[in-house]
Amino acid sequence: MTLLAGQVALITGAGGGIGRGIALRFAREGAAVALHCRTGAEAAHALAEEIGDRAVVLPGADLTVEDECRRLVAQAAEWGGGRLDALVNNAGVQPVRQLPGMPAADWRAVVDTNLTSVFACTQAAAEVMREQGGGTVTHIASVEARMPVEGHAHYSASKAAVVMHARAAALEYGPHGIRVNTVSPGLIDRAGLEEAWPEGVRRWREAVAVGRLGRPEDVGDACVFLASRLASWVTGHDLVVDGGVSARPTW
């Protein structure tokens, strides 16, 4: 399949687990992929090598800094010969901290990373996309945008805001041919997850309808769909990818 043939895509946080899954799926569908990483250069370079000559690593940008978001988008567009067809805002942090006693700095760090970076990268990318007549932006939110978890109030609030940012951006950028959506994953498996959080993994396995944890490529598949012509009339949408967990009644 070549659903994204000819597209130039920028994936933030591509040195991480889900970013890798998204990048591999985009590349398999024919996109040229710019792989952003901040500190995870080794993983990003290994990924670029696996993909081949249609990948480049753009290291270093701290996306809590607006200028660095703008610089990253400019670098990706330059590499793409002036084009940027798809942006996936995947970079994010998920620290655990209870609300009582949480310093405002901790709150801000999560909001700056998970939300304000999405605003800044989208704004910069939309300028390029507008010039070229269109493009797509997909934010990686979370099922926690709808279902808060103790110790994750800052995270849940940031992800709920990301979903709403996409809906609002869909309205403002739609007339310029730019579609903006979110993908909300449930628990995505990674090396060491079961050892680090056995109780949580057990509960997820009990709750999930399709009988397994998520994989990075499940998120990648959803992002490919939203960036492709198959979704040309889909914007402002939140695509939940959670194996059916959020469909299960809680009573």
Ligand X SMILES: NC(=O)c1ccc[n+]([C@@H]2O[C@H](COP(=O)([O-])OP(=O)(O)OC[C@H]3O[C@@H](n4cnc5c(N)ncnc54)[C@H](OP(=O)(O)O)[C@@H]3O)[C@@H](O)[C@H]2O)c1
* Catalytic member of 26, 79, 155, 225: 155
Nearest residue to the partner ligand X, using Cβ: 16
Residue 27 interacting with ligand X (CB under 6 A): no
Residue 122 interacting with ligand X (CB under 6 A): no
What is d(CA 93, CA 71) in angstroms, rounded to the nearest whole number?
Answer: 21
Q: Known catalytic residue: 155?
A: yes
Select 176 or 215, whichever has its Cβ closest to ligand X. Answer: 215
Residue 64 interacting with ligand X (CB under 6 A): yes
Which residue stretch of 23-31, 34-42, 168-176, 232-240 sits at the interface with ligand X (rule: CB under 6 A)? Answer: 34-42
User: Among 187, 222, 231, 240, which residue interacts with ligand X (rule: CB under 6 A)?
Assistant: 187
- Residues contacting ligand X: total by CB under 6 A: 24
Residue 138 interacting with ligand X (CB under 6 A): no
Residue 221 interacting with ligand X (CB under 6 A): no
Q: Enumerate binding residues for ligand X (CB under 6 A).
A: 13, 15-19, 37-40, 62-64, 90-94, 113, 140, 142, 185, 187-188
